[in-house]
Amino acid sequence: MITLEKIADQANVSVSTVSKALSGHKAISQKTKDRIRQIADELGYTPNANAQSLVNKRANTIGVVYEVEFGLRNLFFSAVLEEFRRNAQLNGYDILLLSNNNEKNIDYFRHCQSKNVDGVLIVSIGSAPIEAINKLTQSSMAVITLDPLHSGLNTIYSDSYAGIQKSCQHLYDLGHRKIAYVNGSYTNLIGQQRLNGYLDFIKAHKLKPIYNAKQSNESYTFSEGYQTMKYLLTEFGLPDAVVCASDLMAMGTITLLQKRGYKIPDDVSVVGFDNLSVCEIATPRLTTIAQDYEGIGKKAWDLMIHMLNTDDRKKEPIIVDTQLVVRESTTTRK
Amino acid sequence: MITLEKIADQANVSVSTVSKALSGHKAISQKTKDRIRQIADELGYTPNANAQSLVNKRANTIGVVYEVEFGLRNLFFSAVLEEFRRNAQLNGYDILLLSNNNEKNIDYFRHCQSKNVDGVLIVSIGSAPIEAINKLTQSSMAVITLDPLHSGLNTIYSDSYAGIQKSCQHLYDLGHRKIAYVNGSYTNLIGQQRLNGYLDFIKAHKLKPIYNAKQSNESYTFSEGYQTMKYLLTEFGLPDAVVCASDLMAMGTITLLQKRGYKIPDDVSVVGFDNLSVCEIATPRLTTIAQDYEGIGKKAWDLMIHMLNTDDRKKEPIIVDTQLVVRESTTTRK
């Protein structure tokens, strides 16, 4: 077994320096860190969380605010959390899912202090009181949010605007011109970005917008997709293709169209958004815009470690690119 | 705001007695607990976790061993964990997802002690070393497992045997006689129970068994269902109906059959197992055997609180009933 002592011996530094270097401690220069990391890698060293904790005086615990509709059954948020958890675990950190204590006057900051967490990831704040969230993000703790509505800083999220435009472009390239949009939320930033991506594309290509401007869909569910497509069919007739704000909405859209006797993709092409695992098992398999879960989880973890090791608390938002994944729910216009 | 003082005043007992009673402390008689709970309910009291913790000397943290394939993206295990979490949260407890620290010599017991957790829920041990699990379950900690393979005691799981028999009976009642089985694991208790449920039904009704006896499927995935159905078609020809060991396997089965040009349910009826949320969004919507997630989560929580409040560490397994949910993937034999 490779110990810190062996690495220290080889690097000709103290054990404490090795430990600090490997855990990214700010007292060690980047050059030394790189050198020690390389020696550790060459020797095949695997870090031991407890030893790290002793040096850092850390609890090796990351608190998570996860006020998410449907909880861990929410396919999107649980996929993001899983990628973050995987990175945290690789580094010996536990994830503490912070209970709201069934209280209206929840104080996450105090709660985090009493539980001795090192940093906090806010996956989604749902209906949690904004005061409690602000107290967290304005504290000196390392706090990262994946929910861009509530904090401009230290936030990581997908480029929804460009994502929806990729979706539109894919359908346009297939020859479709009557392109409808099954919308998400109109009350938060991400939902607005998706709508604007659609509307700007439609305008730039001189097409007619086909969407429900009046009804905001807050939950991105199958049922909301189903209802929205029902409305669009009645109001606008059959489109060539449909851009959806989520995969589950796309599956609701497809189900409604199939019930009305239309074939997907022969009669109507449909694109989702998210790239949930259900895309693979849907019939037909769903073409979608993939959010980079791995990238988001990894970047969130890297930022967390950076913030834990420094006093840096004001990082600009990190916008993560999306990618078109073509499967079976889209085809050329007949 | 209703305080413990007000309840104590009304009940004519000390604040400490109220606090202990409301948190289920063993020093308080059941009669007193019931009386104080009733007064608290009448006054509309909401518990405060920190106050409880002071009296109980508890951290209000439940550790979770969650060594699950696909992690939080695993639809089944994340649904069970969510129900447990919901109950824990209602009682002011946080969930600590215990990292395996990326170590081969993981010691969960020591890890739990260092993180000061009150009890542990083992959702699934995956490939975690059995020694580390045994050390946990044989300790004096409150440890509950949902994975019946590895511990006969303090375990909660669905009645898989009866569940599969309900699935067979449903198809039999619809007139089907050529009933195939798309199997799960042959190496663990739950998988064996599901197989035995099928084989005993087939034998009791003098039918011919149609299944792959040679290939154990450890992951209950779409892909395993697809491959198994492919094998069964080649070996046995088209069945009337298929009983599957999971919902995802049922969706793989349906996809393979549809690709071969068969209509579900008109040509073949298919039943899943689990009642995941994807059943509702599948095409056709999936008939399945529902595992009682809410019941399992609630019973696990109730047992956890009981064990935290007592020295009782050897409870017999709790077997939870399942239920047939009929949707669109099954119909009468033509």
Q: What is the CATH number of the domain that holds B47?
A: 1.10.260.40
Please indicate, yes or no, whether residues B211 and B271 belong to a single structural domain of this protein: yes
> How does pLDDT run across B172-208, given as a tens digit for each residue?
999 999 999 999 999 888 999 999 999 999 999 999 9
Provide the CATH number for the domain around residue A105.
Answer: 3.40.50.2300
H or E segment at A64? strand A61-66
Is residue B325 a part of any domain in this protein? no
ipTM passes above 0.85: no
Candidates A48, A96, A278; nearest CB to B94:
A96
Given this model, what pLDDT does residue A50 score?
43
Given this model, what pLDDT does residue A56 score?
53
Q: Which of A84-93, B39-48, B211-220 has the lowest mean pLDDT?
A: B39-48
> How does pLDDT run across A81-130, given as a tens digit for each residue?
999 999 999 888 999 999 876 666 788 988 898 888 999 999 998 888 88
Q: How far is CA A3 from CA A7, A31, A48, B166, in A?
A: 7, 21, 9, 56
Please indicate, yes or no, whether residues B139 and B26 belong to a single structural domain of this protein: no
Model confidence at B62, in pLDDT bands (50, 70, 90)?
very high
Please indicate, yes or no, whether residues B133 and B237 belong to a single structural domain of this protein: no
Distance from CA of B145 to the nearest CA of A (A): 19
Q: Is A244 helix (H, G, I), strand (E, B) or coil?
A: strand
Please indicate, yes or no, whether residues B67 and B152 belong to a single structural domain of this protein: yes
Distance from CA of B28 to the nearest CA of A (A): 24
Please indicate, yes or no, whether residues B140 and B235 belong to a single structural domain of this protein: no
Of the ranges A16-30, A106-120, A150-164, A248-262, which is most confident? A248-262
Rounded to 10 degrees, the C-alpha dihedral A219/A223/A228/A234 comes to -170
Q: Mean pLDDT over residues B219-240, rounded?
A: 97
Q: Tell me the percentage of chain A whose pLDDT exceeds 90.
A: 61
Model confidence at B59, in pLDDT bands (50, 70, 90)?
confident
Please indicate, yes or no, whether residues A170 and A92 belong to a single structural domain of this protein: no
Given this model, what pLDDT does residue A54 score?
45
Model confidence at B22, in pLDDT bands (50, 70, 90)?
confident
pLDDT at B56 over 80: no
Strand partners, B183: none
Model confidence at B48, in pLDDT bands (50, 70, 90)?
low
Of B62, B118, B54, the C-alpha closest to A99 is B62
Distance CA B235, CA B249 (A): 18
Chain B residues in contact with A70 (beta carbon < 8 A): 82, 277
Three-state SS for B74-107 is CHHHHHHHHHHHHHHHHCCCEEEECCCCCCCCCC
Distance CA A129, CA A137 (A): 13
Given this model, what pLDDT does residue B52 score?
47
Please indicate, yes or no, whether residues B164 and B287 belong to a single structural domain of this protein: yes
Is residue B71 a part of any domain in this protein? yes
Nearest CA in chain B to A93: B99
Please indicate, yes or no, whether residues B175 and B273 belong to a single structural domain of this protein: yes
Of the ranges B38-47, B87-96, B324-333, which is most confident? B324-333
Is residue B330 a part of any domain in this protein? no
Please indicate, yes or no, whether residues A151 and A167 belong to a single structural domain of this protein: no
Candidates A48, A94, A97; nearest CB to B115:
A94
Please indicate, yes or no, whether residues B257 and B151 belong to a single structural domain of this protein: no
Please indicate, yes or no, whether residues A151 and A299 belong to a single structural domain of this protein: yes
Q: Mean pLDDT over residues A45-58, rounded?
A: 55
Chain B residues in contact with A282 (beta carbon < 8 A): 281-283
Cβ within 8 Å, pair B115-A82: no
Is residue B332 a part of any domain in this protein? no
Given this model, what pLDDT does residue B53 score?
47
pLDDT at B107 over 90: no
Given this model, what pLDDT does residue B222 score?
95
Candidates A73, A92, A98; nearest CB to B94:
A98
pLDDT at A46 over 70: no
- Tell me how many domains chain B contains: 3
Domain containing A127 equals 61-158+294-320
Please indicate, yes or no, whether residues A78 and A185 belong to a single structural domain of this protein: no
Is residue A48 a part of any domain in this protein? no
**Best residue in A60, A72, A224 for a mutation probing chain B (most B CBs within 10 Å):** A72
